[in-house]
């Protein structure tokens, strides 16, 4: 296996003998990059820094520009504006074969006329590596992705999972400074995808390589990436760790895009120490913790994740006006969605709104289950609420 990676580095040699930047050092800097196709502004001014050794995910709905951004990093599209600096050198206009960057394609793009071995060796031959070194490196890559015994097969004789591994081995073989992965797991079924996620993360940690993955699957991004950049309409809406993205989304759109959420439009606000009392039409007055950034004059909304909402038959003890005050809302169960690990209840609030509560099914017998039309109290703390500009 590839515990020891020899010093000879093909891709870096091809790029003029750059050494690998140490982990944590800035590797890639994207500066105000923009790309327009006809009248469609696919990428509209993106700036981003990526450190060596990072596992970065570009997340967004289809058409948000994430694939275009990735293709500009690979060199298949040239940006109209801005710079792309890799290790300090501007590569924005360099051709794909001049970059120490490799890409794993969404449909894998394996060469159908070449065997597994020749597919993996393809990039090494182009780099002018000696025949013996190529054989060693290919064997190393085959072992790395656990494809031993399949070296002589053609791509059409492989399963989907095996093809994915060949594509990964081929992209890693040149030891790129940066590996780009375009929806690498989209073609795999759910179970295989989950296993492969774990393997990719393990591999990235072991090789200490920098990965940028493009995905529309937020769960995939949250599982694998150490940092996520959410893209919307050609712009980066937020760059944050998975936890921050989920718990402290910067806008209403991000809150809705990443996971499920309850949103209540705010109508008035009142300062009360470190808390705000916010009047909403659908849920009455809610007490929320004061946000880090002051809420502006514009419209805003209160967001609560469904799993932060607790349900009970009677209201918990709480005294309004004290630090420990909690929000309690009365309602009846309007819809039950059993998902195995959790059950999602939709509660029709007496104040008029709907509230989703996700309850963990922590016991096999249904001790905690509520039935349709049952009266319940939904409650959550001020800290569970996020105030979002909308």
Partner 1 sequence: MRKVSRLSRFNIASLALGLAFLYLPILILVLYSFNASRLVTVWGGWSLRWYREFFNDRAMIEAAWMSLRVAASSATIATLLGTLAAVALSRGERFRGRTLFSGMLYAPLVMPEVITGLSLLLLFVALNAERGFWTVTIAHTTLTMCFVAVVVQSRLGSLDRSLEEAAMDLGCNPVRAFVSVTLPLIAPAIVAGWMLAFTLSLDDLVIASFTTGPGSATLPIRIYSEVRLGVKPEINAICTLVIALIAVVIVIASLASKLSSSQGESAAPL
19, 24, 126, 316: which one binds partner 1 (CB under 8 A): 126
| CB-count burial class (<10 Å; 0-12, 13-18, 19+) for 73 | buried
Minimum distance from residue 243 beta carbon to partner 1 (Å): 33
Integer Cα distance of 93 and 77 in angstroms: 9
Q: For partner 1, which is the closer residue by CB, 187 or 377?
A: 187
Binding pattern for the stretch 77-106 against partner 1, x by CB under 8 A and - elsewhere: ------------------xxx---xxx-xx
* 108 DSSP assignment: -
Question: Between 6 and 160, whose beta carbon lies closer to partner 1?
Answer: 160
Which positions ≥6 away from 248 have C-beta within 8 Å? Answer: 240, 386
What string marks each residue from 25 to 64 as x (binds partner 1 by CB under 8 A) or -? ----------------------------------------
Shortest reach from residue 44's CB to partner 1, in Å: 23
Compute the half-sphere exposure of residue 31: CA atoms within 13 Å on the CB side of its CA: 11
Tokens of 257: 């895009």
- Record the tokens describing residue 359, joined without a space: 């309850």
Closest by CA to 204, choosing from 145, 152, 146, 151, is 145
The answer to whether 244 touches 220, Cβ cutoff 8 Å, is no
Q: Per rule CB under 8 A, is residue 122 in the interface with partner 1?
A: yes
> By rule CB under 8 A, what string of x and - marks binding of each residue 295-314 to partner 1?
--------------------
**Cα distance between residue 276 and residue 274, in whole Å:** 7
Residues 127-186 that bind partner 1 (CB under 8 A): 127, 154-156, 160, 163, 170-171, 174
Residue 206 backbone phi and psi in degrees, to 5: -65, -40
Which of 73/302 has CB closer to partner 1?
73
Question: Which positions lie near partner 1, rule CB under 8 A?
Answer: 14, 74-76, 95-97, 101-103, 105-113, 122-123, 126-127, 154-156, 160, 163, 170-171, 174, 187
């Amino acid at each position: 296996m590839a515990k020891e990676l020899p010093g000879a580095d093909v891709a870096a040699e091809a790029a003029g003998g750059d050494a690998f930047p140490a982990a944590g050092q800035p590797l890639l800097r994207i500066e105000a990059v923009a790309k327009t196709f006809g009248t469609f502004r696919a990428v509209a001014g993106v700036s981003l820094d990526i450190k060596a050794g990072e596992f970065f995910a570009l997340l967004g709905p289809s058409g948000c520009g994430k694939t275009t951004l990735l293709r500009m990093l690979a060199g298949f599209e040239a940006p109209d504006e801005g710079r792309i600096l890799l290790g300090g050198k501007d590569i924005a206009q360099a051709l794909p074969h001049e970059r120490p960057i490799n890409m794993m394609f969404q449909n894998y793009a394996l060469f159908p006329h070449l065997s597994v071995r020749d597919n993996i060796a393809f990039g090494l031959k182009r780099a002018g590596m000696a025949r013996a070194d190529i054989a060693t490196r290919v064997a190393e890559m085959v072992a790395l992705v656990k494809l031993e015994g399949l070296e002589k097969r053609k791509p059409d004789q492989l399963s989907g999972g095996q093809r994915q591994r060949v594509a990964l081995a081929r992209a890693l073989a040149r030891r790129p400074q940066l590996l780009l992965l375009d929806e690498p797991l989209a073609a795999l079924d759910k179970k295989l995808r989950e296993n492969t996620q774990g393997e990719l993360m393990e591999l990235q940690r072991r090789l200490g390589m920098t990965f940028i993955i493009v995905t529309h699957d937020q769960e995939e991004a949250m599982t694998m990436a150490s940092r996520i950049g959410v893209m919307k309409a050609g712009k980066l809406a937020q760059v944050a760790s998975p936890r921050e993205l989920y718990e402290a989304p910067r806008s209403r759109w991000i809150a809705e895009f990443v996971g499920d959420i309850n949103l209540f439009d705010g109508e008035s606000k009142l300062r009360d120490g470190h808390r705000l009392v916010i009047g909403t039409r659908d849920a009455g007055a809610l007490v929320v913790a004061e946000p880090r950034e002051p809420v502006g004059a514009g419209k805003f909304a209160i967001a609560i994740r469904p799993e932060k909402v607790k349900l009970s038959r009677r209201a918990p003890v709480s005294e309004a006006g004290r630090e420990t005050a909690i929000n309690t809302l009365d309602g009846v169960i309007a819809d039950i969605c059993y998902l195995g690990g959790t059950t999602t209840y939709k509660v029709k609030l007496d104040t008029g709104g709907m509230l989703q509560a996700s309850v963990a099914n922590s016991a096999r017998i249904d001790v905690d289950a509520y039935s349709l039309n049952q009266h319940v109290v939904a409650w959550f703390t001020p800290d569970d609420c996020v105030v979002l500009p909308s």
